[in-house]
Amino acid sequence: MTGFLPLHVVERGLQFEPNWQVEICLEVRSIVAQIAPHAKERIVNNRLTYHDPSRGGPVKAGICGISLHDDHVRVHFIHGVFLEDPAKLLKGDRLAMRFLRIYSYNDAAWNEIKQLIKQSDAFRPTADLMD
């Protein structure tokens, strides 16, 4: 987890947020760390973002991001339109970005979220251009 911020830095960034949202954020962060230990973690405007620096920056090589909203935690995928989503968790109508909402830790579809993060980490938006 060399590209990940120390836990106390993340916790300090979330210190004024509700405990239930912090718990969800830390779980998503843990999943990203398991799947993509090579990821770089950043805190920008109270959002956590993850990307693979060996492939580019936060847009081209984005894995996912986490943002807090009044009644949910949002996990967004910059290239979400390209991910397989049989559980239909992803929402959004932007060109490529999609997101899912988590309203409570216990009701989260953790296995499906793990699969989306795994797919996002493996996605290469310029793979066809390099062949």
Query: CATH number for the domain including 68?
Result: 3.90.1150.200
Residue 75 has pLDDT above 50, yes or no: yes
Taking the model in full, what pTM does it have? Answer: 0.92
- Residue 2 confidence (pLDDT) above 80: no
Rounded-to-5 percentages of helix, strand, coil across the chain = 35, 20, 45
Residue 2 within a domain: no
* Domain around 70: 7-125
Interatomic CA distance for residues 108 and 113, integer angstroms? 8
Q: Is residue 64 part of a domain?
A: yes
**Rounded mean pLDDT, 82-88:** 97
Structurally, how many domains does the chain consist of? 1
Measured distance CA(85)–CA(14) in Å, rounded: 29
Report the percent of the chain where pLDDT is more than 70: 95
